[in-house]
Amino acid sequence: MADSTTTLIHHPYTPPEGFAAPQPGVFKASTVIFPSVAAMRSFEWKDKTAYTYGLHGTPTTYMLEERLCTLEGGLQCLLLPSGLAAIANVALSLLRTGDEVLMPDNAYGPNKTLAEGELKAWGISHRFYDPMNPQDLEAKIGPQTRLVWLEAAGSVTLEFPDLCEMVRLCKARGVITALDNTWGAGLAFAPFDLTPQVSPTLGVDISVHALTKYPSGGGDVLMGSVITRDASLHMKLKLTHMRLGFGVGANDAEAVLRSLPTMALRYRTHDEAARELARWCQTRPEFVQVLHPALPDSPGHAHWRDLCQPGPGGAAGLFSVIFHPKYNETQIDAFCDALKLFKVGYSWGGPMSLVVPYELASIRSGWPAHLKQGTLVRFSVGLEALADLRIDLSQALQTSLT
């Protein structure tokens, strides 16, 4: 198959007769009219052989689903109103009272919060495993474990796990794996083909994306997806999706469709700039550690190198720094506030660079041995000129810490 850079542009869209525009139309509907009552009764709600109601799919949402499948190498896709809703859909579909879910200690924060809130209240337990230690995951898989979340690289601290080994041992125990693939975006590695050189290829069961990030690319859409390569698993997830009434707006679907063809280009540019800035930060005395999986001394670098292409486009545009412990919170807040181009704000994947300080002690079970002590600040690198971003970091360090 062609590179996703190409397939995101040359997609199998057939425009209406005589209107050969490359960009698809936008279809909006709640009601879809049936030719007769008999036809209405015979139409199947659960698959895509017919349109039944706007909530269950339109030509616009089906097209976005297909293109996301092409990107990821999956076969079925569900769209949800946010990345977090996609995560929740997986949990609500697969977990019942008495079950247990395992997630990495560096999992996306709100996924942990969902486990600590609704899942716990419904009698579903959770445990966190060490993302850098497959044996710890293996030891924690018990008879009640129904789902294992994976993240590569992990949120905020960006450790890159031994994804293949973790998927392999979950498969051996018959436990479903769900990867939050927002960081990789379907570009850094292929979640359903982790080992393309060996057959049968190793892959995760479910790949979840926050389309909010790179697929949208504009910082103006909230959307999520759940992609699978197994029809019966998809149907299970889809029935929950239908019963809970999840759906996405046509204009939002259009915004993502419009952004997808430029995603590989954007991702590569974010990646190049983030690596440059991460390397520059390594030369600065203010930081005791710089976290980016492409840096040789970053946690899990070897796993990243084995799975992702080492060149541009093999990593997302995120990196974190740990400030020397001599700097206090007030100074680090002042540094973040002194930045002019990096704005203080959550999320990432849009054109504007962002910065967030994190209190690592409050989001991890304990201070990880592979991380130095100090305050962590995460940067999401946008699409501004690299030289301007470097000047911005430099001036903020100068004005706030000296």
Ligand X SMILES: *Cc1c(COP(=O)(O)O)cnc(C)c1O
Binding site for ligand X (CB under 6 A): 82-84, 108, 155, 180, 182, 210, 212-213, 222, 224, 347
* Number of residue whose CB is nearest ligand X: 83
**Most distant CA atoms of the chain, gap in Å:** 77
Please state the closest distance from residue 12 (CB atom) to ligand X, in A. Answer: 27
Please state the closest distance from residue 125 (CB atom) to ligand X, in A. Answer: 22
Contact 346, 356 (CB under 8 A): yes
Please state the closest distance from residue 331 (CB atom) to ligand X, in A. Answer: 27
C-beta of 93 vs 400, nearer to ligand X: 93
Please state the closest distance from residue 42 (CB atom) to ligand X, in A. Answer: 37
C-beta of 19 vs 346, nearer to ligand X: 346
C-beta of 282 vs 347, nearer to ligand X: 347
Nearest-CA neighbor of 321 among 372, 384, 392?
A: 372
Nearest-CA neighbor of 68 among 263, 318, 312?
A: 263
Rounded (5°) CA angle 383-389-394? 165
Please state the closest distance from residue 79 (CB atom) to ligand X, in A. Answer: 12
Q: Which residues share a beta bridge with 66?
A: none
C-beta of 169 vs 210, nearer to ligand X: 210
C-beta of 292 vs 396, nearer to ligand X: 292
What region does 248 belong to: left with phi over 0, alpha with psi -120 to 50, or beta?
Answer: beta
Q: Cα 380 to the chain's mean position, in Å?
A: 14
Q: Is the dihedral of CA 366, 368, 373, 377 positive or negative?
A: negative
Q: Cα 231 to the chain's mean position, in Å?
A: 22
Please state the closest distance from residue 210 (CB atom) to ligand X, in A. Answer: 3
C-beta of 253 vs 396, nearer to ligand X: 253
Distance CA 47, CA 239 (A): 10
C-beta of 212 vs 269, nearer to ligand X: 212
C-beta of 182 vs 269, nearer to ligand X: 182
| Paired tokens of 25 | 């139309």
DSSP assignment of 14-55: --STT---SSPP----S----S-HHHHHH--SSSTTS---GG
Please state the closest distance from residue 363 (CB atom) to ligand X, in A. Answer: 13
Residue with tokens 């670098």: 301
C-beta of 87 vs 94, nearer to ligand X: 87
Residue with tokens 């209406």: 16
Please state the closest distance from residue 84 (CB atom) to ligand X, in A. Answer: 4
C-beta of 8 vs 153, nearer to ligand X: 153
Give burial (CB, 10 Å; 0-12/13-18/19+) of 177: buried
Please state the closest distance from residue 250 (CB atom) to ligand X, in A. Answer: 18
What ranges make up the beta strands (E) of 53-192? Answer: 76-80, 100-104, 125-129, 145-151, 176-180
**Spatial strand order in the sheet of 206-210:** 76-80, 224-228, 206-210, 176-180, 145-151, 100-104, 125-129
C-beta of 291 vs 396, nearer to ligand X: 291
Please state the closest distance from residue 213 (CB atom) to ligand X, in A. Answer: 6
Please state the closest distance from residue 397 (CB atom) to ligand X, in A. Answer: 26
Distance CA 322, CA 314 (A): 23
